[in-house]
Amino acid sequence: MSLPARGFVVFLLSTQVVQGQDDWGVTFSSTEICAVKGSTVEIRCSFTYPSKVLFTTVEKTFWFTKKKGRERVDLKTDSEYRGRVEDLCQNNICTLRIRNLRESDSAEYKFRIIIQEGGSYTGSPGVTLSVTDPDLQLKVSRAYSDQAELKCQTSCHVPDNNSYIWYKNGEELRTGISYSRLVNFGSADIYSCALNGHENHRSPSVYAPKPPSVSVSPSAEIEEGSSVTLTCSSDANPAASYTWYKDETSYSSILNEEHQFVFSSMQASDSGQYFCTAENELGRRTSENVFIDVKYAPKPPSVSVSPSAEIEEGSSVTLTCSSDANPAATYTWYKDETSYSSILNEEPQLVFSSINSSDSGEYFCTAENELGRSTSENVFIDVKYKSPMIMNITRLVLVVLVLSPLLLVCLWMRKKKAVSSTTEANEPIETVELDPFSVYEDISDLNMVSPEQTEGPEEQEDLV
């Protein structure tokens, strides 16, 4: 059977449907057929008639449609079908062939038998034909890890011998006429297809996801406890599936697999970088990062004391107030107050360069930003007092420890000088050994000198 150059033939075989009584009957190959405009369709049936009538012969068979005002009109004589139909019958099998289908050809087609003995029979119900534009769709499936398979399909049956036209980025491909083809996964190319002779009715294009965008709602400043929705969207066909990640580049930690990621009550720990991926059978794309900055009031501040050991009067002491807050907190220091009326300092640190015993007491601080204020626990500073007598004794001990080696050197030099004077008087030179105990006795003598024996009051003050 030859086919039109730019058309195709449609005929469907299905479970046979038989209607008849008293040995009359018509069997249709299918009761419903869908065909594309401009194509060729074949409607086929077989028939029987009463065998008990001797020498029965078939006078006429024909196909007709139940259109308004055209009851039982042979299609071969119908002006709407003239030149487009063929009625072929052989061995009680008849085929109606309609070329260059039009939408107006959509109707119910019936087959009628007339015998010479005056009997007749019409098969009912007949065959319903639907003529439509080529409603082509490209079905995409992953055939391999690095390739995807495209199949050009239509809601109407299309014989396998029909030719297909493939398009890549809008340009016709001249390689192959198959209804399927393989393409590389991850390619940014756009594909579509059409039936030969129906180039104006291309399928919708298929393509990998475009780089997705991320939107944040509400778009205003985000406060702790508020509800926030992140939405990932990408142009893709087939439609993309979405996955959410946070602060990762290895895609190992999946947060959500929906196009929206909803925080019902935002927490400070939710701050960070978020991104999403969009993926279909043709490829995957990743969005830009979006930074979520959750604002919150200061957490209860903590107070640290440096040094943390026992605090003595005159030492340097630093109190530090710290709190987790966004935006950053400002700090205020107070002492022994609950009314916050006496401000000591408005810095994170309260520094005592030389602390006094009067500085002893309880200290606390507050941390505040535009979202709220929080107060620390009290910290007690206990400054140890030092009396003047203890301080003078301490100074005296330090002076003695520093001057003792110098005094030893001076006494040794005096004894050496005395020995040198003796040898100059032509006396026998004797070796003088320095008795360390005598040196210490001299030092004791020096320390035993009373204040009255000193040269003046200034030296006494120096000694003290």
Across the chain, what does the average pLDDT equal?
A: 81
Q: Are residues 317 and 291 in the same domain?
A: no
Residue 50 in domain: yes
Picking from 268, 295, 322, the residue at the C-terminal end of a domain is 295
Q: Are residues 21 and 128 in the same domain?
A: yes
Residue 395 in domain: no
* pLDDT given for residue 12 in this prediction: 42
Q: Are residues 58 and 121 in the same domain?
A: yes
Rounded CA-CA distance 54/372 in Å is: 109
For the segment 132-142, the average pLDDT, to the nearest whole number, is 87
Q: Are residues 89 and 30 in the same domain?
A: yes
Q: Are residues 173 and 217 in the same domain?
A: no
Highest mean pLDDT pick, 71-80, 109-118, 195-204, 213-222: 213-222
- CA 50, 92, 158 angle in degrees (round to 5)? 135
Q: Are residues 270 and 353 in the same domain?
A: no
Residue 207 in domain: no
Higher pLDDT, residue 205 or 453: 205
Q: Above pLDDT 90, what percent of the chain?
A: 40
Q: Identify the domain containing residue 162 by its residue range.
A: 136-195
Residue 390 in domain: no
Short-list 411, 413, 395, CA closest to 444: 411
Residue 45 in domain: yes
* pLDDT given for residue 11 in this prediction: 41
Least confident window among 60-64, 315-319, 359-363, 444-448: 444-448
Q: Are residues 289 and 306 in the same domain?
A: no
Residue 202 in domain: no
| Tokens read off for 372 | 């709220």
Domain count, the chain: 5
Residue 397 in domain: no
Q: Are residues 97 and 145 in the same domain?
A: no
- pLDDT tens string 55-72: 667 788 888 887 655 667
Do 164 and 151 meet the contact criterion of CB atoms below 8 Å apart?
no
Do 280 and 239 meet the contact criterion of CB atoms below 8 Å apart?
yes
φ, ψ for residue 103, nearest 5 deg: -60, -30
Q: Are residues 249 and 280 in the same domain?
A: yes
Output the domain CATH number for residue 218. Answer: 2.60.40.10
Q: Are residues 20 and 113 in the same domain?
A: yes
Give the other-Cβ count within 10 Å of 49's Cβ: 22
For the segment 374-398, the average pLDDT, to the nearest whole number, is 78
For the segment 249-270, the average pLDDT, to the nearest whole number, is 90
Higher pLDDT, residue 25 or 282: 282
Q: Are residues 240 and 281 in the same domain?
A: yes
Higher pLDDT, residue 297 or 249: 297
Q: Are residues 285 and 328 in the same domain?
A: no
3-state secondary structure the chain: CCCCCCCCEECCCCCCEEECCCCCEEEECCCEEEEECCCEEEEEEEEECCCCCCCCCEEEEEEEECCCCCCCCCHHHCCCCCCCEEEEEECCEEEEEECCCCHHHCEEEEEEEEECCCCEEECCCCEEEEEECCCEEEEEEEEECCEEEEEEEECCCCCCCCCEEEEECCEEECCCCCCEEEEECCCCCCEEEEECCCCCCCCCCEECCCCCEEEEECCCCEECCCCEEEEEECCCECCCEEEEEECCCCCCCCCECCCEEEECCCCHHHCEEEEEEEEECCEEEECCCEEECEEECCCCCEEEEECCCCEECCCCEEEEEECCCECCCEEEEEECCCCCCCCCECCCEEEECCCCHHHCEEEEEEEEECCEEEECCCEEECEECCCHHHHHHHHHHHHHHHHHHHHHHHHHHHHHHHHHHHHHCCCCCCCCCCCHHHHHHHHHHHHCCCHHHCCCHHHHHHHC
Picking from 100, 132, 164, the residue at the C-terminal end of a domain is 132
Least confident window among 15-19, 92-96, 133-137, 272-276: 15-19
